[in-house]
Every structure is written in C-alpha cells, then in structure tokens.
Amino acid sequence: MVIFSLGIIRGIVGQIVGTAVGLILVTLIRLLMGLPAWKAEPAMIIGALIGAVGFMIGVGALSDWFKWMGGKETPMHHGPPTDKPAWTRYFSVDYNHKVIGVQYAVTGILLVLVAGSLALIFRTELAQTGLQYIEAATFNTLFGMHGIVMIAGILLGVGGMINYLVPLMIGASDMAFPRLNAFGFWINVPGAILVISALFMGGWDTGWTGYPPLSVLAPMGVQAFMLGVYLVGISSIVGSANTLVTVAKMRAPGMSWFRMPIFVWAAVATSIIQLTATQLIGLSFLMVTVERVLGMGFFNPVLTAHAIEVGSPPGNVVLFQHLFWFYSHPAVYVFILPGLGIISELLPVFARKPLFGYKWIALSSLAIALVGFLVWAHHMFTAGMEPFLRIPFQFATMLVAVPTGVKFFSWVGTIWRGKLEFPTPMLFVLGAISVFLIGGLTGPPNGTVTTDLYLHDTYWIVGHFHATMFGGFIFPFFAALYYWFPKATGRMYNERLGKLHFWLILPGFWVQSLGQIAVGLLGMRRRIADYDPALGIQNGHVWITVAGYVIGLSVLVMIYNLAWSARKGPVAAANPWRSRSPEFQIPSPIPEHSYAEAFVITGEPYDYGLPGATYVAMNPSAAPAAAD
Amino acid sequence: MSASAISQAEYEQQESANRLGLWLFFASEAFMFAGLLVARFYLWGDTRPHLDQAVALIITAVLLLSSYSMNRAEVMIAHDDRKGFLNSLLITAALGVVFLIGVIGFEWQGHIRPTDGAFGAVLYGMTGMHALHVVSGIVFIFIVWNNGRKGHYSADRHWGVHACAVWWHYIDLVWVFFYPALYLIGTAQ
Ligand code: HEM
Ligand SMILES: [Cu+2]
C-alpha cells in the first residue's frame, strides 16, 4: 500500500496499536491483581506512553538506534527517497536538517491555526454578556487548549527556525546528531495528538498552567494534556542539546563566537533555557500525575490518618507553582529570543547599515536567558507565597528590562539614518518592534507587587502576554517565513499579498491587544466565560473579537500566498535581499548538502554599507558575489 | 556510531561531539533531580521520617561499589582485556540489581506508604525516580555487554562503553545527594 510508505501514517497506526496494547496491559495486570478490571486513568496513561513509543517505532525514528543496540552500523542516508516521490520525505523520517526545519515550521503553523480557531470560538462567546453558544465547562477547556496548543505551536516554530537556520548560518553540513534531530521533531506529533485528544476525555478546567488542587480534581482530559506536554518537552530537551553541540563544534573556520550571525546567539540562549528549565515543568506535571493516580500528596494539604500517625507534614500547592514557573517564566524567553534574533538579523539587511552594538546584542540574549531564571515568582505575588520573597523577585524582574532595553536601543540605532527598504519581511520586523513595545511596557506593572495585586488574573495580563508573544514570536516568525521563503523553495512569494497580510494583522493586533488591556483595567477577569454588563465593557469585547477574526483572516492570506507561490511563484534569485549571510551566497533552493565546499569567515557579519567589507569568503566555484 | 567505516580522526571528532551532548543531557537531568531535592526541603523542612538506616547504608555502599566495578570495566576495555571487561559489567549490573532489591524489597516495605502526605510523596518520588534511572543504567549495561560479547569494542574505539560508564557514575552521584537528604538531614519524626 502506497499510503503506508508515509512514515506519519505508520506512526499514527503505531500510536493506535500501542495505546490499545497499553489499555489491555493495564486491564490484564489489574485482573491478575484481583482489582476491578477497568480503571480509566491508569489505563489511559500507560496506553498514552506505549502509544507514543508505538508512534516513534511506526514512523521509523528509532530504527537506526535499534540497529546500533544490536551492534549494527547504519549509513547516514541523505537526499530525497529514490523509490517514491520527493514530497514524501516531508511526511517521513528524514535526516536533513532543512527538511526537519520545514517539518517543524509547518507543523507549528498547523498547531497555531488549530489554537487560533479555538480562540475564535470562545471569543465569539465573549462578544456578548451571558452564555450564547457554549457552556462554561467547554469554555474552560477551550481556553486551556488554546493556550497550550499555541505554546506547542510556538515551540515548534522556534524549532523550525533553529533547525533550518543554525547549520546554514554556521556553515555546518547538518546538525551534530541528525537522528536525534528527527526524533526531536517526531516526538511532537504524538504529543500534539495527545493534547488535542483531551477534548474527548472530558476536557479540563485549569487553563494551561495546570495548578493543583484543581488539576488533581479535574476530568481525565488534564492527564492527556500533561502527558502531551511531557512529550513536547522531550523534544525541547533533545533539540536544544543538539543545537548547543552543533554551535560549539561545527562552526566554519574563522567564525569566532563574536562573528556568528546574531540569530545563532539567540538560538544558543534559547537552547540553554530549554535544556535545563524544561525538566521542571515535566517534573511538576509528573507530580500531579502521581498525585492523581497513586495518591502521592505532594500538593494535598489534607493528611490521611496514617500520615498523621507517622508524623508527616502536609503537601503544599505553592510548591507546584514554584516548579512550574521555574520553567514557564524562562519559557517565555524561549518564545521570544529567537524572534528578537530575527529582528536583529533582518534590520541591518533592510537598513543597509551595520547592526548597532553587535556584542551587546549577543550578550543581551544570554543575559535575558540567565536573569530570566531568577524572576519566576513574579507570577505568584497573590498565591500565598512567603511574603519575604516578593521584593527580591520584584527587583529581579525589573532587572530583565535592562538587557531588553539594550535590544530596543540597538534596533533604533540600526534604523537611525539607514537607507530603509520596506519589503514584507521588513514590515513585519518593524511591526514586531511596535507590538513588542506594548508587551514590554505592560510587563513592569505586573512585576511591581503593589500594582500586580490589582492586575493579576485580569484581562490586562492577557493583553500583556499576547503583545509579547506576537511581538516576540508571531511577527518575527512571519518575517522569517517571507525572508527565507525564496531560499527554501527557490521561488518568490507574492509581495502584494504579503503586504495585505501585514496591513491586516498589524491594526488587527493593536486593536486586540489594547482592547484586552483596556477591558482588563475596567474589571474583566481572565479565564471566565461571562461578565457583568454593568462593567460597560461589552463594546470593548466586540472590538477584540472582530480584531481576532481579522488576524485569523490575515493568516489565511499568508498561507494561500506561500502555498501558491511555492509552486507557481516567480523563480527567486540566489540573494534577493543582498544579504551577507552565508546561506544567501549559494543557489536557491539550497542544495541537498548546502555548501559544496567549506567557506571561511574573514570579517564582521553586519558591515552593511561599508565599502570593501567581506564576511564570507566562498570558494570561487560557488554562486554569487557578496552584496555591497 | 559507525565504528569501522570511518577514520580514527573522524571517530574522535564524532566522539567529542557525543561527549558534549551527553554532558549537556546530564546538566538537563540535574535540574530535574534538583527539583526533587527542592520538593524535599520545601515540604519536609528540618524533619524526616523514621526509615531503616541499616538498609540505606548497605544499598548506598553497594551502589558506590558498583561505580568501582564500572570503572574497572572501562579501564579493562581500554587495555583490550575483553574478558575482564565483560565480567566487570556483569558485576556492576548485579550490584545495581542488589540496590534495586534494597530499595523496592526493603525500603518500600517499611511503615511509610506513598499516600502518607509529604513523607510518602517525597520518599517514593525521589527513590522511585532514582530507581527508574538505575533500571535504565542496567538496560544500558546489558546492551553494551551484548555488543562487547560480539566483539564490537576495541581499546581505542569504545565510546558506547564510556557513555554507559559515565551514565552509571552519574546515577550514582545523584544518590550521593539523595541519601543524606532522605536519611540524614533533619530530625526524624
Ligand atoms: C518587560 C519584561 C516583562 C515583564 C516585567 C513581565 C512581567 C510579567 C509578570 C509579573 C507577569 C505575571 C502577572 C500576573 O499574573 O499577575 C507576567 C505574565 C505573563 N507574561 Fe510577562 N513580563 C515581561 C515580558 C514578557 C515576555 C517577553 C513574555 C513572552 C513572550 C511574557 C509572557 C507572559 C505570560 C505568558 C504571562 C502570563 C502567564 C499566565 O499566568 O498564564 N512576558 N509577566
Ligand atoms: Cu514571568
């Protein structure tokens, strides 16, 4: 059967079979132990885990490793499949980092679309007071699902940019561990399937943060959501380790740390966070899992009689929040650092000027990542945490504004008196800066204890983090899609549709974000299906909802544009943006093995407009000359 | 990695990347184990449950001993002593199994149950997570042992053995932190 030659189909079959095996296994064990045969949650957990393994076996992500375990050697197969059409490689395990990068990015976009559609459903509900279309419980599931699927989508988008760009930018033939790279992508697929399947297991009502005690009491959907996040977390960990090794070991000759393209610095900083902090969201979700199925009271303040007898102290829900935010605050920098890297990467190209303060920008990414580890408790000012922790966390939070300010300063310095050009990627870069500014300015009031006591859990917070994520990820990600589209496909996107996309999403987003901030200040709580008409915020809600639809429409324009142009667009030049970066010095689309010969770095990366400056010395046999 | 098809220089280059990757993974895991320690100190404070000190001391000694035999295994393959290498691996795995028996068969049969508030949760959480890693180490040892039996390692090409050995030492090191946190620090209730 042709269809089974697609890895993803085999993987899904494997996941179904594995899940069934898990369900049967748990039931059999329970029978043998003389317990009532069917208990849904343990069966579901084991089923989900074996199902994930089944997917990975089915898709073929483990095949080479199984052979290694048996002592066999496996050659590294590169290139399109010889026995099936070339497009099938995108649906199967492939070891080329460019293919994996595209797989990541496209899956990420798909998840963002799913999550966005969910948001439109509950935004429609919120446009009027009262409940019209959905019940409160469904509303809860929808916003939780919206949040976590968006986060998964963003993580995949980040993975897409890093996997596609980092090896190209440092002149490596591939990532350091190509098989691990494929594994890291594919493990997301059963993860996403699990998260979405929570819809059919009663949903859950905690939102994406999964706080106990509610998550311990919630329907089984919360379990599917947590296991799914666990799998996505594995992807973050192996992917970031791979990135760090690649950057440390495989840079082109002459590319010292301070001559790397700036995006690579962002990738390094991001990877440091992903590698380490991810473990703690995993641990916190695991603790909730064992509390749910084994009754281990990490977070339960109520003691059993026997526990009192042995003198045990009670569990504590605040512990969960510490562990959770130790990941989830730094995670917001995982979302934005690559995007901010894209802004710094593209601005000099379109301003035809050197990047202002390269070293400061490079180190500010690291500084944000490291200081970001010290601020997590600013999410817990109202949580009943130890009061003496408030002030230190308030000041640590303010400290992050310093390296973030460095970035803004550098962007302004780069634009200043440049020869600006405004193709679609540049528009998105400038839009990103404007949007991120909204997010950045609404942050410090949250980090200040006195103001946060009022702002916490209002729509203000929703406005804040949407602005940071759109400015820090969504806009730069779109910029990157347009910017590298000709390199990836060999064709040009349609500029007019690109501009239409931009001029829909930018005002759409401003209205949405400022609207959220406004209704929040007027008393709208977050995560709630209804509000009091007397608050006078219904008009605001209508604006937010309409803006949401405009944003959704604009993304459809982009997808149409990219899908159409990939096949029918005009053939792209090798270096349409006159970039100095190495990947633009080779043909479009980029050949299977990227660089025919190794290149040497002979100068600074961003000396745009400086006569005679070179960055990359390509072998003369390779394509076009470096730009001005 | 493919051992024979590539030159020694390529092998060493790949090995240095592998080594960095492995240590990064250790760093990552360290955060998870540290999270468990945080839970221990957050919930238990300066108390701890009454546990069987003798069992704990014995299994700790057994685990430390197993690091020694693991080290022997690596040294022996580096000297092409295939037989000693295989035997040392088996001894290591056997000591690991003894450790597991001590945890599951004795420590877990005491008067503290998993459902006993923070005592139960943290005790079973930490020892369980650690035991899971010991199991992974034993599986790794058997894979390496099996490949070694087939003659896949040599004095200058035995990355698999090295990875297995440091993984084992790492799990051992984690216990060096867990043991005092569970059994020594704080006053027993
Ligand atoms: C100027 C820098 C920033 C500061 C000072 C800041 C501060 C804060 C604070 C204190 C909160 C908690 C508010 C509360 O729940 O009461 C918060 C929430 C949040 N921030 Fe930021 N933030 C900043 C930038 C960012 C960035 C760059 C992102 C992400 C891309 C981000 C994403 C979020 C998210 C997702 C939440 C809500 C989490 C939740 O409860 O669901 N923030 N921010
Ligand atoms: Cu935060």
Domain boundaries A96-301+313-617, CATH class: mainly alpha
Per-residue pLDDT tens digits for B71-118: 999 999 999 999 999 999 999 999 999 999 999 999 999 999 999 999
Residues A479-495 have a mean pLDDT of: 97
Nearest by CB to B120, from A70, A277, A297: name it: A297
For residue B4, pLDDT beyond 90? no
User: Is residue A600 classed as helix, strand or coil in its secondary structure?
Assistant: strand
Query: Could you identify the residue written with the tokens 């909802």?
Result: A545
b/e map B173-184, b = 16+ CB within 10 Å: bbbebbbebbbe
Residues from chain A that touch B4, judged by Cβ atoms under 8 A, are: 73
Q: Which residues, other chains included, contact A406 with Cβ-Cβ below 8 Å and sequence gap of 6+?
A: A357, A360, A361, A364
What would the mean pLDDT of A466-471 be, rounded to a whole number? 97
User: Which residue shows structure tokens 């200081």?
Assistant: A371
pLDDT in tens, A563-585: 999 999 999 999 999 999 999 99
Residues of chain B neighbouring A319 (CB-CB closer than 8 A): 38-39, 42-43
Average pLDDT over residues A281-303: 95
Tell me which chain A residues have a C-beta less than 8 angstroms from the C-beta of B20.
244-245, 248-249
Nearest chain A residue to B43 by CA distance is: A315
pLDDT band at A612 (very low <50, low <70, confident <90, very high): confident
A84-110 pLDDT, tens digit each: 888 889 999 999 999 999 999 999 999
pLDDT band of A261, cuts 50, 70, 90? very high
Mean pLDDT, residues A480-488 taken together: 97
* Per-residue model confidence (pLDDT) at position A439: 95
The best mutation among A273, A324, A379 to test binding of ligand 1, ranked by most ligand atoms within 8 Å of the C-beta, falls on: A379
Segment among A18-27, A84-93, A236-245, A457-466 with least mean pLDDT: A84-93
Give the residue-averaged pLDDT of B161-189.
Answer: 96
What is the residue with the minimal CA distance to atom 20 of ligand 1?
A465
Residue B1 confidence (pLDDT): 42
Ligand 1 first shell, C-beta below 6 A? A 209, 332, 335-336, 378-379, 397, 400-401, 404, 439-440, 443-444, 446-447, 452, 455-456, 461, 464-465, 468-469, 472
CA distances from A228 to A192, A396, A434 (A): 6, 32, 34
Q: Does residue A387 have a cis peptide bond before it, meaning omega lies within 30 degrees of 0?
A: no
The residue whose C-alpha atom lies closest to atom 7 belonging to ligand 1 is A443
Residue-averaged pLDDT of chain A: 94
pLDDT at residue A156 above 70? yes
Residue A458 dihedral angles phi and psi, to the nearest 5°: -110, 175
Residue A623: pLDDT band (50, 70, 90) is very low
So what's the pLDDT on residue A84?
82
Could you state, in order of their start, the residue ranges of all structural domains in chain A?
Answer: 1-71, 96-301+313-617
pLDDT of residue B2: 43
The tens digit of pLDDT for each residue in A161-184 reads 999 999 999 999 999 999 999 999
Do residue B117 and residue A283 have CB atoms under 8 angstroms apart?
no
Q: What is the C-alpha to C-alpha distance for residues A57 and A60, in angstroms, rounded to an integer? A: 5
Q: Whose CA is nearest to atom 13 of ligand 1?
A: A446
The closest ligand to the CA of A368 turns out to be 1
Confidence of residue B5 (pLDDT cuts 50, 70, 90): low
Q: Please tell me which residue, A35 or A344, carries the higher pLDDT value.
A: A344
Q: Is B114–A276 a contact, with Cβ atoms under 8 angstroms apart?
A: no
pLDDT of residue A627: 41
Task: Specify the CATH number of the domain B3-188.
Answer: 1.20.120.80
Q: How far apart are the CA of B9 and the nearest CA of chain A, in angstroms?
A: 14
Q: B31, A298: Cβ pair inside 8 Å? A: no
Mean pLDDT of A6-25: 94
Q: What was the pLDDT predicted at B189? A: 78
What's the gap between Cα A502 and its chain centre? 21
What would the mean pLDDT of A394-406 be, rounded to a whole number?
A: 92
CA B48 and chain centroid, separation: 24
Query: Is the distance from CB of A106 to CB of A485 less than 8 angstroms?
Result: no
Residue B118: which of A376, A320, A210 has the closest Cα?
A: A320
User: What pLDDT is attached to residue A2?
Assistant: 67
Q: ∠ CA(B81), CA(B84), CA(B86), 5° rounding?
A: 105
Q: Among the residues of A372-458, which ranges form H helices? A: 390-415, 424-447, 449-455
Instruction: State the closest ligand 1 atom to the C-alpha of A447, by its place in the atom list counted from 1.
Output: 10
From the list A117, A107, A187, A106, the residue with the least C-alpha distance to A146 is A117
Q: If you write DSSP's letter for every residue of A164-215 in order, what string do you get?
A: HHHHHHHT-SS-S-HHHHHHHHHTHHHHHHHHHHGGGGT--SS-TT--TTHH
**Across all residues in chain B, what is the average pLDDT?**
94
- Provide mean pLDDT across the span A130-154: 96
Identify the residue whose C-alpha is closest to ligand 1 atom 41. Answer: A209
Angle of helix A188-197 versus helix A7-32 axis, rounded to 10: 60
Q: Name the residue ranges covered by the structural domains of chain B.
A: 3-188
At A78, the pLDDT band (50, 70, 90 cuts) reads confident
| Residue A5 predicted with pLDDT over 90 | no
pLDDT at A621 over 50: no
How much distance in Å is there from the Cα of A278 to the middle of ligand 2? 15
Given a cut of 70, whether residue A215 has pLDDT beyond it is yes
Instruction: Count other Cβ atoms within 10 Å, centred on residue B84.
Output: 15
Give the model's confidence band at A1: pLDDT under 50 very low, under 70 low, under 90 confident, else very high: low
Position A628 pLDDT exceeds 90: no
